């Protein structure tokens, strides 16, 4: 009985007063579709495939991203272009399987794939989430400057005939 009295006349009023004080606090809600909260600089969102400064694709279809992908979300088929360079004829990412871990970005030796800040790509069919090269490659000419600040410039295989030495040379040094 004493415990009950204590609960009714002390504990509950204290608790209710504590709740009442919350009434005057500033709401923490972000009105999402109208106001967007600031993204963290390392947020990992939708992938995109980068291009060189002359517009050719960086991806050489080495398959390291697909190999490193823990969710098995990447599929690619290689081909060669007229200059004898390898490129990805087909490059697909299943964004429903993807867990946005960023391993593909880590694994890429060509700095071709990055995880962007885009997170609003909801859709109404599962099939629409298999993003192909058309969706992933950055538009050319660029609509806005690349979010990646430092991209390695294009390199060529340089073969010195006299010595037989093979080297990777940046475009500008040629």
Partner 1 sequence: MLEFAVITAIKSLVVITVLLMACAWSTYLERKLVAFFQTRIGPAVAGPYGLLQPIADMFKLLFKEDIVPGQAHKTIYLLAPLLAFIPAVIPIAVVPFGDTITLFGREIDLVISDFNLGILLVFAITSLGVYGLMMAGWASNSKYSLLGGLRSAAQMISYEIGLGLSVIGVLLLGGTVSLVEIVEQQDSILNWFVIRQPVGFLLYIVCAIAETNRIPFDLPEAEAELVAGYHTEYSSMRFGLFFVGEYANMLTVSAIATTLFFGGWQGPFLPPIVWFCIKVFAFMFFYIWLRASLPRLRYDQLMKFGWYVIIPLALANILVTAAIALL
* Residues engaged in binding partner 1 (CB under 8 A): 4, 12, 15-16, 18-20, 22-23, 25-29, 31
CB of 26 to partner 1, least distance (A): 7
**Smaller CB separation from partner 1, 37 or 172:** 37
In DSSP notation, 26-42 reads PP----TTTS-PPPPTT
Our CB check for partner 1 shows the closer of 18 and 172 to be 18
Measured distance CA(172)–CA(153) in Å, rounded: 8
Using alpha carbons, select from 80, 82, 88, 132 the residue that is nearest to residue 110: 88
Least Å distance, CB 10 to partner 1, is 14
CB half-sphere exposure, 48, CA atoms < 13 A: 15
State the minimum distance, in angstroms, from the CB of residue 13 to partner 1: 10
Closest to partner 1 by CB, 3 or 83: 3
Q: Where on the phi/psi map is residue 70: left (φ > 0), alpha (ψ -120 to 50), or beta?
A: alpha
Nearer to partner 1, 12 or 157 (CB): 12
């Amino acid at each position: 009985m004493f415990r009950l009295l204590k609960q009714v006349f002390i504990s509950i009023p204290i608790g209710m007063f504590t709740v009442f004080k919350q009434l005057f606090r500033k709401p923490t809600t972000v009105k999402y579709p109208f106001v967007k909260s600031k993204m963290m600089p390392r947020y990992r969102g939708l992938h995109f495939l980068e291009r060189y400064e002359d517009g050719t694709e960086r991806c050489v279809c080495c398959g390291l991203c697909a190999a490193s992908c823990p969710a098995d979300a990447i599929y690619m088929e290689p081909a060669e272009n007229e200059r004898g360079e390898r490129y990805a004829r087909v490059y697909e990412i299943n964004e429903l399987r993807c867990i946005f871990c960023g391993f593909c970005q880590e694994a890429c030796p060509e700095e071709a794939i990055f995880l962007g800040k885009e997170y609003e790509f909801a859709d109404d069919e599962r099939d629409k989430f298999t993003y192909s090269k058309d969706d992933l490659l950055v538009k050319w000419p660029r609509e806005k400057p690349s979010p990646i600040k430092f991209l390695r410039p294009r390199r060529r295989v340089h073969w010195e005939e006299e010595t037989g030495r093979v080297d990777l040379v940046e475009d500008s040094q040629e």
